[in-house]
Amino acid sequence: MKKLLAAALLSLPLMSQAQTVVPLYDKAVPNARPCNTKEVQQERGRISGVTVPTLTVYLPAKPDSAQAAVIICPGGGYVRLATEHEGHEVAKAFNEAGVAAFVLKYRLPDDACMTNKELVPLQDAQQAIKLVRDNSRKWNINPSRVGVLGFSAGGHVASSVGTKFGQAVIPNAANTNLRPDFLILGYPVISFSDNLAHPGSREHLIGKTPAADRVVAYSNDRQVTAQTPPTFLMHAADDKSVPVGNTLAFFQALQHHQVPAEMHIYQRGGHGFGLHNPTSPDKWFERALNWMRSNRLIADKPAAVADAPAPKTKKAR
């Protein structure tokens, strides 16, 4: 019994280190004003009313030699965050692959709590990149291998920070590089055009009747340049919430600007399935890891023991 207790106590520092929650800003939160909105924990690991942004740190027990890191942006239509299956579960999967992961609880647009709600998700995503790079030595991370993953509306956050890094919308006196080194986008909201937009995401971020120039500014396929980071995209063709055309439009824009990209479209799967598409035995997460390996973002996968040649046995006489 004493041995078990000692082992449990020894494991506590490692567990707390792997799931440390840190405030996103060490000083005043930019673009914020006092309000009465309260954060609410909903069913199935969802959170609404987020006005205080944080970063949950997941450090792998056995870091990959490439020391890559991924900042994860859960989806939720800019009205809630699916922090469990599009956040913490994904972070744990990256840890198992030796990759550091950070779940971003970004603020949800709210006129009552923000002076300019349009900028808030981008501000928090830029700050997350800054925070991870500024603490790269502490967290044993290569600051040149920091990527951003986003699901659904979180994919809009990720693709925004991947196309709008040239203009800092946060205090950045040290001039920390705000460009992600790579993007991973799962069934992402990309375009705010009438034929592709997820209406709820567009309305909550830029209003019910946005001007044409705002639609273009927040349609991230229109913001791609040759400097946009290499990107991995995944979507289901039968997605009724966020049309697969969002992923196709971003991929085509990347191709036009000769940005390295890989895309996987599943025949079925719907929307919001996180790590596991229930209609297919295929694992998109493994494909994403292989893409990361092929781009030298993580180390090559060691040969499995099962793949090793069987030992020779003596023939029976």
Tell me what the pLDDT averaged over the chain comes to.
Answer: 91
For 170-218, what is each residue's pLDDT tens digit?
999 999 999 999 999 999 999 999 999 999 999 999 999 999 999 999 9
Res 308 pLDDT > 90:
no
For 255-270, what is each residue's pLDDT tens digit?
999 999 999 999 999 9
Res 78 pLDDT > 50:
yes
Q: Is residue 214 part of a domain?
A: yes
Confidence of residue 164 (pLDDT cuts 50, 70, 90): very high
User: What six digits make up the tokens of 178?
Assistant: 């705000």
| CATH number, domain with residue 233 | 3.40.50.1820
- State the average pLDDT over residues 227-250: 98
Q: Is residue 89 part of a domain?
A: yes
Q: Is residue 19 part of a domain?
A: no
Q: Is residue 244 part of a domain?
A: yes
Query: Total domain count for the chain?
Result: 1
User: What distance lies between CA 94 and its chain's CA centroid?
Assistant: 11
Integer Cα distance of 105 and 93 in angstroms = 18
Domain that holds residue 205: 71-297
Bridge-based pairing state of the strands 20-23 and 54-58: antiparallel
Confidence of residue 38 (pLDDT cuts 50, 70, 90): very high
Bridge-based pairing state of the strands 54-58 and 100-105: antiparallel
Res 86 pLDDT > 50:
yes
Confidence of residue 316 (pLDDT cuts 50, 70, 90): very low
Integer Cα distance of 80 and 106 in angstroms = 10
SS3 257: coil
The rounded radius of gyration (Å) of the Cα atoms in the chain is 21
